[in-house]
Amino acid sequence: MFDSFIPVEKLPNLFFPSDFTISVPPKYRVLTPTSIRASNLSDDKIGLSSIGTRIAASNVSREKAESFGLSNDLQKPRNEARVSEVLCEELRKETEETLEWSLICSQVCAFVSTSAGKALCRSGSLPIGRDREESLKLLDQTAAAVLLPQPLDFSGIDDVSGIVRSAVDGKLLTIGELCAVERSLRSARRVFEQLEQVSAAGESPDRLAPLLDIMQDCDFLTDISNKIGFCLDCTLSVVLDRASVKLESVRLERKQNMERLESLLREISMNVFQAGGIDSPLITKRRSRMCIGIKASHKSLLPEGIVLSSSSSGATYFMEPRDTIDVNNMEVRLLNDEKDEELAILGFLCSEIACSKTKFRLLMEKILELDLAPARGAYALWMNGVRPVFREGHQIINSSISADSLSIDIQGIQHPLLLQPSLRSLSSISIPEAGSSEMLNRRDGVMESEDLPEPETPVPIDIRIGYARKVLVISGPNAGGKTATMKTLGLAALMSKAGMFLPARGRPRLPWFNQMLADIGDHQSLEHNLSTFSGHISCICKIIEVASNDSLVLIDEIGSGTDPSEGVALSTSILQHLAGRVNLAVVTTHYVDLSCLKDGDSRFENAAMEFCVESLQPTYRILWGSTGNSNALGIAKSIGFDQKVLDRAQEWFEKLVPDKQRERQGLLYQLLLEERNLLEAQSKEAASVLSEVKKLHLEIHSEAEDLDRRVAALKAKESHQVQQELKTVKSQMDSIIKNFETQLKNTSPDQFKSMIREAEAAIASIVAAHHPGNKLATVIEAPAEDDIAMVQYGKIKVRVKKTDMKLVEGGMKDTVYPASHLKVQDQGRYYKEASVGANKDKVTFGPAVKTSKNTVDLRGMRVEEASHHLHMAISGCRSNGVLFVVHGMGTGAVKECAIDIHRNHPRVAKFEEESPMNYGCTVAYIK
């Protein structure tokens, strides 16, 4: 209907609120993208040179380009660059297919919300950073998405790219399509507002800055959204009266005309009914005109009426009365006017969308980018991923980095596809929204099920390659994990470039590779007349052609499929060439000679996949710096091969290997493995001891600092007390002397002696009061087996060792332990040797240094409570440790309970009772 232009007088009289901006050309209103493009290419807007540039960019023919005055340089073909680009793209697709990148994208698809994001993931086209900065940006977005406290609501956002494309092609959009556009624009704005609210509510607003930057300064096309919402009712899918003045006027006039028409028809139908022309009044519509039903035999009741149709039996006619013909004509005309006006409004909205196609494309790209970031974050949490760190590429640019530094340092990485079965199944996940709370709490690991066995997790591998190493040769048995290891490294590099976290430990570090080039699998092709060897060599030739200093090359079974001698020679030459051309090349092989390249060239590194000879099964562990055997006979035996065949193979093997050199190599390999395992165990034990020593050193250091502070405070307090006592004694002495001098003046010489005795007695009492001499106490309970007696000093009852008492009356002799019965411990502490429960075996215990970690305080507890706490402390004490048990000096019941436990507890090797330096404390040595 709308070919190119519509005159202004034929346009609908549109009216909108004051904030709407609608530009109308002077004479014509552009309604279709075709007319828009035609009008925008006028000579007064775009010059000839600009048109020529566009044509050159569109790959038009040379003749047409020259007709616009373009130079030959603009149209000069760049065949070499084009061929290189095509070859790079071909190898990129092959590598991603080999590494099963599409399956990784499918895993991420489970966490995506929008239809555009799901389509992108299903096609295996997740965005990959084109340079280091772009990959870092994607990683920042993923790290921010992991911190989202709640999911982003992407509901209501549709992929409107196809709708916009239809509008640009000049197609008239339906009300449903226009409403989809309006709903998507409104929902996109709501997502950004939600993200702003979440960021503002957090403790650190900057933590979500990478996500906010995606939508920052984004045009949400609010004007188009408001216009669609103003013109259309998306709930009822109709054009509203307010869309234009003409539409409102036409609909009002049609309403009035319809009321008049229905009134006439009701009146005529009633007259026909009363005349017996119809069984009941009937008003209906036929051929877009209002009419009434009448019996065929009573047709004469409507003279000059028009028969529009009849019933299937022919007994009833549907006739338009003469009096309603003009009114019916008016209804048809108004209905056509209404439809024309609605189409004009829809065409106007389509033209608005077509004019903003670039803004729509940018907005959809931003929404897709914002949708993929939380999806990558949820995927990282689902597999317990950690963020990788990019290191410098093919050369060491920092003088502080030595040649032995690691270019790749990835600890405990697992292949994501092998890891999936051990995690919750993606197919069983109900995902209402990407990044939902259910998805953000994916650390629950394996689903608990009593019926299903727990799936095995892949063996984590460590990949550590130095800066100076350019070629890694991995050898080992078939099905030993060589190819899986190589694929894991390739996927780690690819996932890092795409902003994904890695299923590894610590902080994985690796270079940013500009391209991954892989030759893995069988390239045999009957169609192209290629054998297995020819297919491999053809692929390697392409890889060498496009490889650069920042490339990662992966080659599986290099040189296989041909004569071993020639295969080794060709492989050696290829690897030496790659060592000077790429950042890193990783190859797998069964050729032992390739592992010898490391001896003469420091750029090479060897690794072997471990194989257990006893169980004839691979362990999937990497032995760095080692060379592995293929173990073909052992593997054949493990899968049930006929023993007779294996025996004959062994005979041939011994004939082919003079003096059983291969057997000696195998034995040497096993000895090296055993030595390696022993060194690893000793290393772990030494690390554990070192860790314990460091912890103890920190505790001792902390306790020593605290002890120094307490000693200084105690000295200051004692000094202050001494000063106060000195002042008191001096004051008392001064008072005695002053009183003596006063009495001396007023007394006779006969009283001098008595005065002197009184003064001396007063001075002696002062000296006695401040002299730290022995106290006189009464023994109220005889010493027990532990030589501790109960004594009373005034109203105070205490338990005192027999060695600390001196008998004033009675026949008891002083008991003194010899000096050899005491031993000196660290930091000047003294502890008496234990006489009960001592273990005569020579066992090394930790230093007997009292810290807060190895002390249990039983003071203030009842005997039962103290017994429970002491048993718990002994059970929790580390082996060959020392436990200080503080029981106090009270009635002795808690102490007796503690000593009894020390005597009988199986973990107590020996114990030491309290000493002059540890009153109220027993030291127990734990087995």
Give yes or no for a contact between 214 and 366, defined as CB atoms under 8 angstroms apart.
Answer: yes
pLDDT tier for residue 688 given thresholds of 50, 70 and 90: confident
pLDDT digits (tens, 9 = 90+) for 737-764: 888 777 777 777 777 777 777 777 777 7
User: What is the spatial distance between Cα 239 and Cα 233, in angstroms, rounded to a whole number?
Assistant: 6
Is the pLDDT at 452 greater than 60? The verdict is no
| Predicted local distance difference test score (pLDDT) of residue 290 | 93
Q: Per the structure block, which two tokens stand in for 705?
A: 């600092």
Burial class (CB in 10 A: 0-12, 13-18, 19+), 678: exposed
Q: For residue 382, what is the DSSP state?
A: H
> What is residue 820's predicted lDDT score, i.e. its pLDDT?
31
Give me the torsion for CA of 264, 269, 274, 277, rounded to 10°.
Answer: 140
Q: Does the pLDDT of residue 56 top 80, yes or no?
A: no
Largest distance between two CA atoms of the chain: 175
What local confidence, expressed as pLDDT, does residue 199 receive? Answer: 86
Crossing angle (nearest 10°) for helices 115-122 and 101-109: 160
- Give the pLDDT confidence of 99-155 residue by residue, as tens digits: 999 999 999 999 999 999 999 999 999 999 999 999 999 999 999 999 988 889 999
CA atoms of 165 and 167, how far apart (whole Å)? 5
Q: How far is residue 684 CA from its own chain's centroid?
A: 29
Q: Which of 706, 696, 921, 692 is nearest to 829 (CA)?
A: 921
d(CA 49, CA 277): 79
Q: Burial level of 274, CB count in 10 A (0-12/13-18/19+)?
A: exposed
Residue entry with tokens 């009134």? 263
Return the beta strands (E) in 8-100 as ranges.
28-30
Give residue for tokens 């005491």. 822
Q: What is the mean pLDDT of residues 449-474?
A: 76
* % helix, strand, coil for the chain, step of 5: 50, 15, 35
The pLDDT tens digits of the residues spanning 288-315 come to 899 999 999 999 999 989 999 999 999 9
Q: Please give the distance of CA 82 from its chain centroid, rounded to a whole number.
A: 39
In the chain, DSSP finds a helix count (H) and a strand count (E) of 27, 27
Q: What is the mean pLDDT of residues 681-709?
A: 83
Radius of gyration of the chain from its Cα atoms, rounded to whole angstroms? 48
Tell me: pLDDT of 690 over 90: no
| Confidence band for 765, pLDDT divided at 50, 70 and 90 | confident
Give ∠ CA 40-43-46 in degrees, rounded to 5: 60
Is 614 buried (19+), middle (13-18) or exposed (0-12) by CB count in 10 A? Answer: exposed
Q: Are 92 and 511 in contact (CB under 8 A)?
A: no
Task: Name the least confident of 377-386, 537-546, 712-721.
Answer: 712-721
CA distance 581 to 553: 10
pLDDT for residue 186 is more than 90:
yes
The whole-number pLDDT of residue 612 equals: 65
**Encoded amino acid at 253, one letter:** E
Residue 791: the pLDDT is 79
**Owner of token pair 């028969």:** 307
pLDDT tens column, 237-290: 999 999 999 999 999 999 999 999 999 999 999 999 999 999 999 999 998 899
Give the pLDDT confidence score for residue 609 in this predicted structure: 80
SS3 310: strand
Q: What number is the average pLDDT over the span 719-735?
A: 83
On the CB side of 518, CA atoms within 13 Å amount to 26
Q: What angle do CA 14, 17, 18 make, to 5 degrees?
A: 110
Sign of the CA dihedral running 705, 706, 710, 713: positive
> What percent of the chain has pLDDT above 90?
35
What distance in Å separates the CA atoms of residue 314 and residue 283, rounded to the nearest whole number? Answer: 18
Cα–Cα distance measured from residue 599 to residue 593, given in angstroms and rounded to the nearest whole number: 11
The residue count of the chain comes to 927
Contact present, 805 and 889 (Cβ < 8 Å) = no
Q: Does residue 611 or residue 756 have the better pLDDT?
A: 756
Model confidence at 467, pLDDT cuts 50, 70, 90, reads confident
Measured CA to CA, the distance from residue 22 to residue 227 in angstroms comes to 10
Q: Read off the tokens for 441.
A: 């709490």
The mean pLDDT value of the chain amounts to 77
Cβ–Cβ under 8 Å, residues 845 and 881: yes
Range 593-615 average pLDDT: 79
Give buried/exposed letters for 620-652 (b at 16+ CB in 10 A, else e).
bbbbeebbbbbbeebbbeeeeeeeeeeeeeeee
> Could you tell me if 502 and 495 are in contact, meaning their C-beta atoms sit under 8 angstroms apart?
yes
pTM of the model: 0.60
**pLDDT of 914 higher than 50:** yes
Return the closest-CA partner of residue 611 out of 475, 435, 520: 475
- Look at phi and psi of residue 7 and say left if phi exceeds 0, alpha if psi is from -120 to 50, else beta: beta
Distances from the Cα of 345 to the Cαs of 12, 105, 339, in angstroms? 7, 42, 10
Does pLDDT of 544 surpass 60?
A: yes
Q: In this structure, how many other beta carbons lie within 10 angstroms of the beta carbon of residue 914? A: 22
Which tops the pLDDT comparison, 88 or 740?
88
Token readout for 6 is 């519509």
DSSP helix/strand/coil, 697: helix
pLDDT at 404 (0 to 100): 53
pLDDT of residue 139: 95
Q: Coil, strand or helix: which one is 509?
A: strand
* 3 state DSSP class of 445: coil
- Which has the closest alpha carbon to 496: 115, 137, 201? 137
Which of the residue ranges 335-339, 415-419, 722-726 has the most confident prediction, judged by mean pLDDT?
A: 335-339
